[in-house]
Amino acid sequence: MSNYSDNNLLQLIIPDNPTNNKLFGTQKYCGEDFPLRGDNVHEMSLMGGVFEVIDQTLSSHNVKRVLKVKIKVGELTNAEPDALAMAFEAYSKDTVCEGAELVVERVPLRGFCKNCRREFNVKTMCFLCPDCQSTSIEITQGEELLLESLEVE
């Protein structure tokens, strides 16, 4: 059994503009509820990118079977673990990944205030510094989708 791990294997950019208007919930933003709309194949698209990286990674190795795939998913991606699992199952069919365990680690949203230089967990989509109320915030984590590791035989 081998274990491949590289934090830089995959980092996808999540599109800013969803492709349809399907309502799938609401999000609190500065105390108000706003509808969440998006692409109903969002997780399939994300998993397609994961499988491209898996294929690239395994192409130079003699792998019989993948036992476990671990990914890190940022909170801001709005990717649902159950939908990712369904997409994983669909993409893994008839591949070395079929039957592999998918482990999804959620990455919390964190910000850095450029004004007072404080790092903090972002609790709402308002993006205000909890100390100085500045809106000059840089997101430091929570946007990523990373292939963390593959366990293979």
pLDDT average, residue stretch 113-119: 97
* Res. 69: pLDDT tops 90: yes
Q: Going from the N-terminus, what domains does the chain have, and what CATH number goes with each?
A: 2-108+142-152 (3.30.2320.50)
Q: Is 30 annotated as a binding residue?
A: no
What local confidence, expressed as pLDDT, does residue 37 receive? 43
Please report which confidence band the pLDDT of residue 127 belongs to, taking 50, 70 and 90 as the band edges. confident
What local confidence, expressed as pLDDT, does residue 126 receive? 78
Q: Is 97 annotated as a binding residue?
A: no
What local confidence, expressed as pLDDT, does residue 82 receive? 86
Max avg pLDDT among 26-30, 90-94, 148-152? 148-152
* Res. 18: pLDDT tops 70: no
Angle at 104 between CA 98 and CA 110, to 5 degrees: 155
Using alpha carbons, list the distances in angstroms from residue 118 to 121, 123, 132, 133, 138: 10, 15, 9, 11, 11
Q: Is 132 annotated as a binding residue?
A: yes
* Distance from C-alpha of 58 to C-alpha of 100, rounded to nearest angstrom: 14
pLDDT average, residue stretch 55-75: 94
* Res. 24: pLDDT tops 70: no
What local confidence, expressed as pLDDT, does residue 62 receive? 92
* Distance from C-alpha of 53 to C-alpha of 120, rounded to nearest angstrom: 31
Residues in the chain: 153
